[in-house]
Chains A and B, each alone.
Chain A
């Protein structure tokens, strides 16, 4: 049955046409709401506002390094956390990400500059800070100090991992000490804040970098918007906790669009190769 080509298609026909389009052809930017062809998004950034769509750790590593050698891949949650629901959540996250924790650590070269590198992954229980996450980060800082190399960390996290309770909180101090030792050796620690970086991660290693960069429109904060609204009945402004607001208030060095990140990091690393102590 053929339609007159000037006749409007029925809703059923429209639905059929839509079904033929693969889901990932078009993307809507969660920040500026522009819809664009995924094909047009260089390094998965919105062509309109420059927001970088969320990336898995592997994807990020491919994008930013020349070479990467992973360490501590096998490190996973300690056996003492035996809650069945939590264990299930962990196995699901492992399956989804093909990783054993919310951070991937290792040694890399970025624009031929050697460094320690950690990349968090928001697909793994919202990048939350578990004991194994803290352990991997701590070991990276310790090994980088031994090898006399600077460290680059890409953060993305909802904050503490509450299934691990107080042990999650302790990771904030543990990693901070490792940062402190690296910095005492005169080695640089560079942070790239990526969307979103919240809670206990913001309140520890994300805000301890010698230089702190952020991707455009990245959400960065300590208490979430909902907590503020519910606890003290205050409505935060629209630009609340965005990288641009943090830059204005003096908390980050620069906002760097994703396509320029590698080059920027490479240059910063050449200025900070090796320790001073």
Chain B
């Protein structure tokens, strides 16, 4: 199937896309959601908790967009506040303590840009997520399932492997932003998308990500994804912790 980069952008943003919560419930059994950052509040854009994958406990952290306007007002259309990143960081450290693998599922246009976020240290929260991702010794798998917008996505995309859904994008800024900054014309989105190499296929070819997985649009595909994640975690778990961490660092060191 050939399609333009802009079609890929639209597909990544589609309202038909499976929600992060549905993905989590499909990938793990008995998902127990853990709320709050233990500091200030509970950000609705980040869902995290513990579930079972083939009988083994794993920590799953996802960034989700809402389906209704009310939901989207709460989660800011999938743009986390710093409290969301602090919740993610807390759950990563908890997973490390108990030797549980971490799986992140990312669908965000970016970190939320508002006065509250800045006053509460949006930059610091993302920076600490990156540090924690570089420190945890447990297997860590990151999957971009829709939009992977800039630093807000990167915060949870520091895994031993980074995968992308077929209909997903990952970029340093939105194609709209790129067009408006480089050409002062936000309408040249399609052209920007083409130039940015932001589709899953482009990024795989450029060696930025490790695998393109099928879009999940039915139960069979969900089962397949679950199987792929389980296999990867088994492979990663077989490595000694120090070796795994060294490989993760080598993965990003080459950029």
Q: A162-B172, A206-B123, A221-B123 are in contact. Are A176 and B130 (CB under 8 A)?
A: yes
- Which residues of A199-253 are within 8 A (CB) of B? 199-200, 202-208, 220-223, 227-228, 231-232, 234, 236-237, 240-241, 245, 249-251
- Which residues of B147-169 are within 8 A (CB) of A? 150-151, 154-155, 157-158
Residues in A whose Cβ lies below 8 Å from that of B120: 249
Please encode chain B, from 222 to 255, with 1 for each CB lying within 8 Å of some chain A CB and 0 for all others: 0000000000000000000000000001001101
Residues in A whose Cβ lies below 8 Å from that of B127: 176, 202-208
- Which residues of A162-198 are within 8 A (CB) of B? 162, 164-174, 176-177, 179-181, 184
A-B contacts at CB below 8 angstroms, number: 142
A109 at the interface (CB under 8 A from B): no
Tell me the complex Cα distance, A204–B252, Å: 14
Tell me the complex Cα distance, A180–B249, Å: 10
Q: Is the CB of A166 within 8 A of B113?
A: no
Partner pick for A208 among B121, B128, B249, CB 8 A cutoff: B128
Secondary structure at chain B's binding surface: helix, strand, loop or mixed? helix
B70 at the interface (CB under 8 A from A): no
Tell me the complex Cα distance, A174–B182, Å: 26
Q: A162-B172, A170-B255, A177-B134 are in contact. Are A203 and B203 (CB under 8 A)?
A: no
Q: Is the CB of A177 within 8 A of B203?
A: no
Tell me the complex Cα distance, A170–B170, Å: 11
Q: Which positions in A face B, CB cutoff 8 Å? A: 131, 134, 138, 160, 162, 164-174, 176-177, 179-181, 184, 199-200, 202-208, 220-223, 227-228, 231-232, 234, 236-237, 240-241, 245, 249-251
Tell me the complex Cα distance, A243–B158, Å: 29
Q: Is the CB of B181 within 8 A of A162?
A: yes
Q: Is the CB of A180 within 8 A of B134?
A: yes
Residues in B whose Cβ lies below 8 Å from that of A234: 114-115
Residues in A whose Cβ lies below 8 Å from that of B118: 221-223, 228, 236, 240-241
The minimal Cβ–Cβ distance linking B183 to chain A, given in whole angstroms, is: 11
The minimal Cβ–Cβ distance linking A219 to chain B, given in whole angstroms, is: 11
Q: A199-B151, A222-B122, A249-B120 are in contact. Are A166 and B130 (CB under 8 A)?
A: no
Tell me the complex Cα distance, A202–B120, Å: 13
B117 at the interface (CB under 8 A from A): yes
B35 at the interface (CB under 8 A from A): no
B208 at the interface (CB under 8 A from A): yes
Q: Is the CB of A180 within 8 A of B113?
A: no
- Pairs across A and B, CB under 8 Å, 15 listed: A160-B151, A160-B172, A162-B178, A165-B172, A169-B171, A203-B127, A204-B127, A204-B130, A204-B151, A206-B123, A227-B113, A228-B114, A234-B115, A236-B118, A241-B118
